[in-house]
Amino acid sequence: MFKNVKNPAFKRNAMILLVLGILMYYVFCVTVGEQISILATYLSAETGWNPNAIVLPITYAGILSIAFTFLCNTAFMKFNAKHVIVGATAVVGVGFALIGLSSTILNFTLFFATLFVIRSIVTFLNNGCNYLCGNWFSENRGKALGVVTIGGPLSSATFIALATCCCCWRASFGVNSSLGFSGIYYIIGALIVVMAIVMGIFLKNSPEEIGAYPDGADKPPQALPDQQKKEPGITITALLKRADTWLLVLSFGLLVFGSSCITAFFTATMIAKGVTAGYYLPALTAGAIIGMPISYILGMIDDKFGTVKASLCLCALYVVCFLGIILTNGNNILTIIIATIGMAGVTGGAPNLTPSINFYVFGQKDYLAATRVIGTLQSIIGAFAVTFIAAFVSSGRANTGYTILIGFVAVAAVALMIIGKLHPNKK
């Protein structure tokens, strides 16, 4: 990525962006992923709250996040993106600390309201990271997004283990003062606030702010991002009239639908198929560790062979994950690990390629204007995922549900191939 870059200022600031980007995706995935469902068990044990009620704020805020997908990209168009991202990060950090406080004083209303706000606001972190990566990288955009989205599987690989250790500290060692759930979130909240401060000091919107150019090039591209922002982006009306808009909505909308099914109901599916926690929890960690490089590999494929081909590879990972789940029956460690590796590839690769393909089709100039609409429509499709997979898992027909999801992936792959035909000269 930096092989031919001679500008030390670009290298330094781009590395800062990538490190902070990993952390932004880590925080995002900790908030919206499977972790909260697993941790609900520990929180329920400490507080006596109903575990189903504990995850409700995530569910309700997930619906609200549909609107926030539109709002956050609009905010990046209207205001200084860095300031918006820093402010959102600070709010999330304070929110995590308040979650810890709510479990300490046993105030479920405070817990519910805080988690609801965090889930809504955290959308600004991953979307903001995608936008900044698009500003700083062009030829190497895929690899850059592949690096930052490693934060997704990294959160799966580390957070559950950390939380389990902290929540079980008292039980294991007989210590009267346990970190517990509240301690975890006090610490996380403080670290996120520190991260916001670091972002405010070091993060830059674009390389032009330090006298550099995207990818560390020694000359400007045909149109600089700052120049592009001064021009009006594509209108919503014009966007909705384009065939590639609806192909993007269909393709990655179905992939978002599939990933939502995985993250929301993986644990429930494993339990329904007779897998014990001693198998699926270590498998989640192992799969996440093995799958971490997949995000970067997909980014390399993106830069070398094009976003459409990389997206088709992502579709294959979805199929691997779904087949692993379908073939799992009881404590079959091989199929469980196959499922979790596919899951890690999906959770790391989907956030990578979702913005990349929008850059591919619409370019830097129209990216935000297009993404706020396309992302919103994709989120609407994804909003029905939990209801869909829950119906199959709860009725003992999990395999049928995941077989249908393989069909959805096939439809997404066809739509992606059509996009490739519509834009044959792009990488």
What CATH number has the domain bearing residue 213?
A: 1.20.1250.20
Burial of residue 81, with CB atoms counted within 10 A of its CB: 0-12 exposed, 13-18 middle, 19 or more buried: buried
| Same domain for 197 and 134 | yes
Q: Note the pLDDT of residue 219.
A: 76
Q: Note the pLDDT of residue 163.
A: 61
d(CA 248, CA 417): 11
205 contacts: CB under 8 Å, gap ≥ 6: 80, 81, 82, 132, 135
Q: Note the pLDDT of residue 347.
A: 79
What's the structural domain count of the chain? Answer: 2
What one-letter code names the amino acid at 231? Answer: E
Q: Note the pLDDT of residue 1.
A: 73
Distances (CA, A) of 32 to 252, 343, 355: 18, 15, 18
| Same domain for 318 and 415 | yes
Q: Note the pLDDT of residue 278.
A: 80
The ranges of the chain with pLDDT < 70 are 33-39, 41, 160-181, 221-233, 425-427
Closest-CA residue to 253 (of 33, 415, 363, 398):
415
Q: Among 181, 207, 224, which residue terminates a domain?
A: 224
What is the DSSP annotation of 219-267? S--SS-HHHHHHS----HHHHHT-HHHHHHHHHHHHHHHHHHHHHHHHH
- Widest Cα–Cα separation across the chain: 65
- Is 352 in contact with 340 (CB distance < 8 Å)? no
Residue 327: CA count within 13 A, CB half-sphere: 15
Q: Note the pLDDT of residue 282.
A: 80
| Same domain for 251 and 216 | no
| Same domain for 243 and 218 | no
Distances (CA, A) of 129 to 30, 64, 204: 16, 20, 11
d(CA 182, CA 165): 13
Q: Which residues of 203-241 are buried (b: 16+ CB within 10 A; e: fewer)?
A: bbbbbbeeebbbbbbeeeeeebbeebbeeebbeeeebee
Q: Note the pLDDT of residue 176.
A: 42
Q: Among 224, 248, 269, which residue terminates a domain?
A: 224
d(CA 366, CA 339): 37
Dig out the tokens for 420 from the structure. Answer: 């490739």
| Same domain for 277 and 137 | no
d(CA 94, CA 113): 13
- Is 36 in contact with 62 (CB distance < 8 Å)? no
Q: Note the pLDDT of residue 53.
A: 81
| Same domain for 145 and 243 | no
| Same domain for 195 and 294 | no
Q: Note the pLDDT of residue 401.
A: 95
d(CA 364, CA 380): 24
Neighbour count for residue 197 (Cβ, 10 Å): 14
| Same domain for 21 and 129 | yes
Q: Note the pLDDT of residue 158.
A: 80
d(CA 213, CA 7): 10
Q: Which domain holds residue 257?
A: 232-427
Taking the C-alpha atoms of 9, 15, 16 and 22 in order, what is their torsion angle to the nearest 10 degrees? Answer: 160
Q: Model confidence over 349-360: pLDDT tens digits?
A: 888 899 999 999
Q: Note the pLDDT of residue 164.
A: 59
| Same domain for 278 and 201 | no
